[in-house]
Structure 1
Amino acid sequence: MNKTAIILGASGLTGGILLRKLLEDNRYSVIKLFSRTRIEGLPNKVKQFIGDLLELEKFKSDFTADEVYCCIGTTARKTPNKEFYKKIDYGIPVMAAKLSKENGISTFLVISAMGANRKSNVFYNRTKGEMEHDVLQENIQRTSILRPSLIGGERNERRILEKIGLAVFKIIQPLFVGPLNKYKIISAECIAQAMVNLANNTSNAEVIISSNDIKKLAKNN
């Protein structure tokens, strides 16, 4: 198999792990990265397109592939301006879905978040919910929206408060049983593996993937 995959957000935690997995996967002969900065030291099968992802439509002619993996996401701490935050967490995935539809890409996977709801009073949840809704409006043949809980893993950037929060969360993990199980930390490794498995399992008809189901899908390797 000689597939082409697009990754948005390959410089982030989950996107970086996903990139490594696709590099090791013989089913993929070309991996296209769309990002603001170049990642050095990558093999020839990686093609990098550098520019402003808020103007993703300018890349339309190069935005061709079999699959799109959208791992874009920021935080309120990194992007306190709500208007700019929405341009990233809503605008980029929705434009990626539009380009996928226009260019005949049949598989689109995007990371959302637990609690996404376009009618929520919480800005973060509402933004994610609006993104999900408008991505689905494109009616791409195979769309998978992953809703992970708190994502764990070693990040390159320093996020002291987030590290403290994760440490505390890990301590109380044993208390998360029964209905609370879905709130347990999920690793970025797990999310990336589930995305690859989803893209390569045409029998999976689920559209919205909960955090618990992401963990199950990651094991089907």
Structure 2
Amino acid sequence: MKKKALVAGATGLVGQELVKELLDSRVYDVIKVISRRKTPFSGIQGVEEHIIDFEKLEKYGTLVADVDDVFVCLGTTMKKAKSRKKFVKVDYVYPLKLANLAKEIGVKQFLIVTAIGSDRDATFFYSRVKGKLEEELVTLDFPSLHIFRPSLLVGKRRDFRIGEKTAEWVGKPFSFLLIGPYEKYKPIKGKYVAMSMCAIAQEKSSGVHIYESDKIRQLGKVLLQDN
């Protein structure tokens, strides 16, 4: 019997790649996409697009009720959010609300993208928010929780982010210097993250699992070769 998935954040780089991977996998007969705006997958067979108000997530319990796997790729930047309060809403409040809803309904597997360096005691505000979110998710005690911590994401985005694009242009020529313990800081393709999420969701492993960027890249490369 095929499964059902729910994806939050399908307009972003990883989210778009993830929906494509889930469709290509043929493991899921229904992929529910929840978003604040129209996604590139509207009208595609096998995808249910739901435009929702994330401020009222608790009203959408029926969307989560019958899914097997929840994938969360929500995220923004400080520049786009324009304030710490709005950033926290997108990167902490909304994912945690969705996680609580999924836990209450009995979802067995929860997979989420955070970021490299996530730590509630980190110097950088961005990393502290991500770290606090991870800690809260662990306390929910999902049967299966998978946390993906990519470094700088590269790939074709729906929206152009000059800061990230500049970092990509500057960082690529020096990537070869990032070896050994520093390899996880290399920029990583959003497609590798999506492929890894899709593949790991099929392993049915229990407990809490954290994947650093270098491990995600390695798995992504292997999966790409297998295809």
Provide the TM-score with structure 2 as the length reference. 0.92
Residue type at the aligned position of 1:98: N
Cα distance in 2 for residues equivalent to 1:25 and 1:98: 27
3-state SS of paired residue (1:6): strand
1:6 is aligned to 2:6: yes
More helix by share: 2
Residue by residue, what CA displacement relative to the aligned partner does 1:55-79 show, whole Å, maximum 9, x if unpaired?
A: 2111112213000000000001101
Runs (5+) with no aligned partner, structure 2: none
What does residue 209 of structure 2 align with? 207
Q: After superposing the two structures, state which structure 1 stretch, 12-21 or 31-40, moved more.
A: 31-40
Q: After superposing the two structures, state which structure 1 stretch, 201-210 or 169-178, moved more.
A: 201-210
Cα distance in 1 for residues equivalent to 2:3 and 2:140: 22
Post-superposition shift, 1:80?
2.2
Post-superposition shift, 1:206?
5.4
Cα distance in 1 for residues equivalent to 2:102 and 2:14: 21
Cα distance in 2 for residues equivalent to 1:63 and 1:205: 21
| CA contact 2:193–2:216 (8 Å) conserved in 1 | yes
Residue type at the aligned position of 2:14: T
| CA contact 2:153–2:190 (8 Å) conserved in 1 | yes
What does residue 24 of structure 1 align with? 24
Runs (5+) with no aligned partner, structure 1: none
Cα distance in 1 for residues equivalent to 2:31 and 2:195: 16
Cα distance in 2 for residues equivalent to 1:103 and 1:173: 43
What does residue 106 of structure 1 align with? 108
Post-superposition shift, 1:175?
1.1
For residue 121 of structure 2, the aligned residue among 114, 119, 124 is 119
Matches within 5 A, 1:56-205: 56-64=57-65, 65-203=67-205
3-state SS of paired residue (2:126): helix
Post-superposition shift, 1:43?
2.0
Post-superposition shift, 1:35?
0.6
3-state SS of paired residue (1:174): helix
Residue by residue, what CA displacement relative to the aligned partner does 1:40-93 show, whole Å, maximum 9, x if unpaired?
A: 543232112212123211111221300000000000110121011101100111
Post-superposition shift, 1:204?
7.0
| CA contact 1:197–1:217 (8 Å) conserved in 2 | no
**How many correspondences in the alignment?**
221
RMSD: 1.6
What does residue 47 of structure 2 align with? 46
Cα distance in 2 for residues equivalent to 1:124 and 1:22: 29
3-state SS of paired residue (2:157): coil
Cα distance in 2 for residues equivalent to 1:84 and 1:194: 29
Cα distance in 2 for residues equivalent to 1:51 and 1:6: 13
Residue by residue, what CA displacement relative to the aligned partner does 1:147-178 show, whole Å, maximum 9, x if unpaired?
A: 11111111121222321210110011111122
3-state SS of paired residue (2:79): coil
Residue by residue, what CA displacement relative to the aligned partner does 1:116-147 show, whole Å, maximum 9, x if unpaired?
A: 11122321111000100111111110000011
Residue type at the aligned position of 2:122: S
Cα distance in 2 for residues equivalent to 1:34 and 1:158: 22
| CA contact 2:138–2:208 (8 Å) conserved in 1 | no
3-state SS of paired residue (1:30): strand
Residue type at the aligned position of 1:95: K
Cα distance in 1 for residues equivalent to 2:186 and 2:208: 21
